[in-house]
C-alpha cells in the first residue's frame, strides 16, 4: 500500500536522533505529517526537518523535556494545532542510567521513572483526548523488560517492565474506542547513542544473528503497528532483538 498513513498525523517523543529519528523518517515516508519532541539539539532537529521536507514530507520540531509533564501536554496541543488532529503517538523518549544498586542515587531513580514511565502516561493521556477510532499508541520499550542481561541495569529494566504492564492495561482501557496500544521492545541496536565498539563487541555474541540491530529495523515494526494493517494488534509487547532473548 502506497502511503498507508496518508491522512494520519503523528507525534514522536524523543525524535531528533537515533531510533526516534528513524521513526520520524519512516512515518513521514509513509505519508503522515510528523511532529517530534527533542530536549537538547536545535541543530539536529532542524537538520531532520530539512531532510524530511526535501523528501516531500512534513515535520514539526517541538523542544520539550519529557521529564516535564506540562511540556509534553503542550507538545500534544501544538501537534493538534498544526495538523488539526492526532492519530499516532510514539512514546520513544527514554534514558538509560546504569550503576550498582548500592550506589544508585535516588535522583537518578526518580529521573528514569519520570522520563521512561511517567512521560508515557502523560503523553498518552493527553493524546487520546484527540484520538478517535483507529488511533495508535506505540511505546518503545526494551528487551530488558524480560532480561536485564548485565549488572547495573536493574532500575532501567524495571522502567521498561512497567511500560509493558502499562501498555496491557491501557489496551483494555482504550479498546472500546478502537484505539490500539502496543510496545516495541528493541534489543541491542546500533545508534548514534551507542557508538562504543567495545560494548558492541560484547553484545554481538549474545544475539542469534550475530549483529546488532539497525534503527530502521525498529522503525519498520513501529510503522506496521501504526498502519491500518495492525488494527487487530493491541496489548502486545513485540520484540525485535535479533534473537537476544532466544
Under 8 Å between Cβ of 160 and 187: no
> What is the rounded distance in angstroms from the CA atom of residue 57 to the CA atom of residue 146?
36
CA atoms 31, 33, 39, 42: torsion sign: positive
Which 3 state secondary structure label does DSSP give 90? strand
Question: For residue 45, how many C-alpha atoms fall within 13 Å in the half-sphere facing its CB?
Answer: 18
Under 8 Å between Cβ of 138 and 119: no
Catalytic residue list contains 244: no
Q: Between vectors from CA 95 to CA 89 and to CA 97, what angle results, nearest 5°?
A: 160
| Strand ranges for 92-221 from DSSP E | 136-140, 180-186, 189-190, 213-214
> What is the rounded distance in angstroms from the CA atom of residue 61 to the CA atom of residue 239?
28
Neighbour-count burial for 79-111, b at 16+ CB within 10 Å, e otherwise: bbeebeebbbbbbbbbbbbebeeeebeeeeeee
Question: Which of the residues 38, 156, 224, 244 is marked catalytic?
Answer: 156
Residues with catalytic annotation?
A: 156
Amino acid at each position: 500500500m502506497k502511503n498507508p498513513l496518508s491522512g494520519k498525523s503523528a507525534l514522536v517523543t524523543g525524535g531528533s536522533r537515533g531510533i526516534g529519528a528513524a521513526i520520524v523518517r519512516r512515518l513521514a515516508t509513509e505519508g503522515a505529517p510528523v511532529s517530534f519532541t527533542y530536549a537538547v539539539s536545535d541543530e539536529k532537529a532542524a537538520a531532520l526537518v530539512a531532510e524530511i521536507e526535501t523528501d516531500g514530507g512534513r515535520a514539526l520540531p517541538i523542544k520539550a523535556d519529557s521529564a516535564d509533564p506540562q511540556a509534553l501536554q503542550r507538545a500534544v496541543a501544538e501537534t493538534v494545532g498544526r495538523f488539526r488532529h492526532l492519530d499516532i503517538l510514539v512514546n520513544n523518549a527514554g534514558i538509560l542510567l546504569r550503576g550498582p544498586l548500592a550506589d544508585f542515587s535516588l535522583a537518578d531513580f526518580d529521573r528514569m521513572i519520570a522520563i521512561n514511565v511517567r512521560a508515557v502516561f502523560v503523553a498518552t493521556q493527553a493524546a487520546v483526548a484527540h484520538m478517535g477510532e483507529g488511533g495508535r499508541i506505540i511505546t518503545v520499550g526494551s528487551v530488558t523488560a524480560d532480561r536485564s542481561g548485565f549488572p547495573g541495569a536493574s532500575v532501567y529494566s524495571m522502567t521498561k517492565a512497567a511500560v509493558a504492564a502499562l501498555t496491557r492495561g491501557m489496551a483494555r482501557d482504550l479498546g472500546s474506542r478502537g484505539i490500539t496500544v502496543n510496545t516495541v521492545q528493541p534489543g541491542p541496536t546500533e545508534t548514534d547513542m551507542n557508538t562504543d565498539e567495545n560494548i558492541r563487541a560484547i553484545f554481538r555474541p549474545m544475539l542469534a544473528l550475530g549483529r546488532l540491530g539497525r534503527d530502521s529495523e525498529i522503525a519498520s515494526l513501529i510503522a506496521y503497528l501504526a498502519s491500518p494493517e495492525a488494527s487487530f494488534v493491541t496489548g502486545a509487547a513485540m520484540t525485535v532483538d535479533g534473537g537476544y532473548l532466544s
